[in-house]
Amino acid sequence: MKFTPIITALALATSSMAINAQQVEVSVTNLAQGIYYTPFLVAAHNADMSLYQLGQPASAELQMMAEGGDISGLSAMLTNGSADIIENPAAGLLAPGMSTTAMLDTADGNDHLSLVAMLLPTNDGFVGLNGWQIPTDAGTYTFTVNAYDAGTEANNEIINGGGAPGVLGIPVEPGGNGGTGGMGLTVVEENSTVHVHRGNIGDDDMTSGKSDLNNAVHRWLNPVARITVTVM
Amino acid sequence: MTFNSKFKKLLTSITLVSLVALAGCNHNDDDEMVVIEPPPPTPVVYTYEVIVTNLTHAQPMSPIAVVLHNEGQLWQLGQSASSSLEMLAESGDNTAVLADAIAIAAQGGAGILASGMQETITLSITDNMPMMLSLATMLVNTNDAFTGINAMEISDLIVGESISIQTSSYDAGTENNSESMMTIPGPAGGGEGFNEMRDDVDFVAMHPGVVSQDDGLTQSALTQAHRFDNPTLMVMITRVE
């Protein structure tokens, strides 16, 4: 008997939470000094969806994003799952040191936040936030995130325009510090699951050597992005 | 007329105030009037103990700068470094940061903090509760790497309470990371420290780490021993008074 009112109160609280959609502002800062981000995909979705799982193979949609910056596959997947999405808030690449902001109006139950973009120049490196539970309390929440490797392409570090899934190579070096004539660091990716990126290696030879990347420009240490979420 | 009536009103209200004031003094009627000076307020001293541990393998830290402040930041990611931060990050000289206009109290470390070593820095301020604490030091075997704490809120700390943090490393963006002998001021290079010329991206970012000659940068004065990863410092801040 005593429990009845408590249960009723809980039920009311739960239902009111479920119908309370939120307005959420998401800001991302590129913390790296020599790495660009391809257009971001920012999404609020339900607890059952995820863009990737660490230690599990990447989906074909994640592979498209991580190897070539193409977010259309993930975007379609999220839309099919009734997620709220913002594509490309920076209207293009997000340069080193720069920030971009996306405003999301979340629908019922879309209380998990995800965000991805490819790191350029890499073979299949990406920055990710995966299903972060959006707080119900209004306020500003700041944290940093790391760089992952999709595990779908060997990190050969050759800049050859290869951005389509399964095509070996780095699509482009937007900063103009790329080299040419590298032999390629490796042709295998031993870990085919999504894992923490080991970083670019690069070399100091811009016309030959093992890599087309510059070891004094294209390396990074985690974290690679700062995220500020403001729940209105 | 208008002025006059306003003036009258004012006079009336002054009279009323005086009457009220007198009425308030009624209880003194039977006593001799003794003027009691209010005791001077006890000064409130805020003291913070900052314990810093160098977590790197072989990156000595330049003399640490600790600053208490109520506004501002020592650096902003993505923004150009201040000249005082540039000085610290390129040469390890903390004097300009300690003298920064935002500081309401500042204290420098005793000297170079070697790898694996720990130092305690204590600083106090009277009658002005500080809102924020910042800390900065250079990784001296680099071109312009620094680590520290930027405008951390400390106003909630009660006496005896501590905050423990591990810090990441930043690149001031003011000097190209050539790693050459001539440009590394630390023991690995013995080269130039501060140079006001900015020959790099000119914004503060996370440091990409040093490459070293052992990992493919032929001109580097650094070896595998000077490589580092985050975090580079452990800092414990305790309010002790």
CB B204, CB B172: distance < 8 Å: yes
CB B145, CB B138: distance < 8 Å: yes
Q: What digits encode the pLDDT tens for the residues A76-107? A: 999 999 999 999 999 999 999 999 999 999 99
pLDDT recorded at residue A12: 42
Which of B77, B211, B228 to mutate against chain A (most A CBs within 10 Å)?
Answer: B211
Name which of A138, A143, A142, A123 is nearest A63 in CA terms.
Answer: A123
Q: Hey, are the CB atoms on A30 and B78 less than 8 Å from each other?
A: yes
Q: Hey, are the CB atoms on B78 and A99 less than 8 Å from each other?
A: yes
Contacts of A128 (CB under 8 A, 6+ apart): A51, A52, A114, A115, A116, A145, A146, A148
Q: What digits encode the pLDDT tens for the residues A57-69? A: 999 999 999 999 9
Q: What does the DSSP 8-state code read for residue B36?
A: P
Q: Which residues of B touch A29 (CB under 8 A)?
A: 77-78
Question: Min CA distance, B176 vs chain A (Å)?
Answer: 9
Q: What digits encode the pLDDT tens for the residues B26-64? A: 444 455 677 888 888 888 999 999 999 999 999 999 999
Domain boundaries, chain B: 45-239
CB A231, CB A141: distance < 8 Å: yes
Q: Hey, are the CB atoms on B219 and A204 less than 8 Å from each other?
A: yes
Mention the CATH class of domain B45-239. Answer: mainly beta
pLDDT recorded at residue B30: 53
pLDDT at B225 over 60: yes
* Nearest-10 Cα torsion for B53, B57, B58, B59: -50
Q: What digits encode the pLDDT tens for the residues A122-175? A: 999 999 999 999 999 999 999 999 999 999 999 999 999 999 999 999 999 999
CB nearest A98 (choices: B78, B209, B216): B78
Question: Min CA distance, B211 vs chain A (Å)?
Answer: 7
User: How high does pLDDT run on average in chain B?
Assistant: 89
CB B204, CB B77: distance < 8 Å: yes
Kindly state the tokens that stand for A21.
């959609």
Which of B55, B206, B230 to mutate against chain A (most A CBs within 10 Å)?
Answer: B206
* Integer Rg of chain A from CA: 20
Question: Min CA distance, A11 vs chain B (Å)?
Answer: 36
Angle at B232 between CA B231 and CA B236, to 5 degrees: 85
CB A108, CB A129: distance < 8 Å: no
pLDDT recorded at residue B20: 41
* Bridge partners (DSSP) listed for residue B67: B106, B134
CB nearest A215 (choices: B169, B205, B216): B216
Q: Hey, are the CB atoms on A223 and B177 less than 8 Å from each other?
A: no
Q: Hey, are the CB atoms on B206 and A203 less than 8 Å from each other?
A: no
Averaged pLDDT, B11-28: 43
How many other CB atoms are found less than 10 A from the CB of residue A199? 19
B43-47: which pairs have CB atoms within 8 A and are 24 or more residues apart? B43/B126, B43/B127, B44/B126, B44/B127, B44/B129, B45/B124, B45/B125, B45/B126, B45/B241, B46/B124, B46/B125, B46/B126, B46/B128, B46/B129, B46/B130, B46/B239, B46/B241, B47/B122, B47/B123, B47/B124, B47/B239, B47/B240, B47/B241
Name which of A168, A94, A88, A93 is nearest A124 in CA terms.
Answer: A168
Name which of B199, B185, B222, B218 is nearest B92 in CA terms.
Answer: B185
Q: Hey, are the CB atoms on A33 and B78 less than 8 Å from each other?
A: no
* Integer Rg of chain B from CA: 27
Share of chain A above pLDDT 90, in %: 90
pLDDT at A115 over 70: yes
pLDDT at B237 over 90: yes
Q: Hey, are the CB atoms on B230 and A216 less than 8 Å from each other?
A: no
DSSP secondary structure of B93-160: --HHHHT-TTEEEEEE-SS-B-TT-EEEEEEEEES----EEEEEEEBSSSSSEEEEEEEEE-TTPPTT
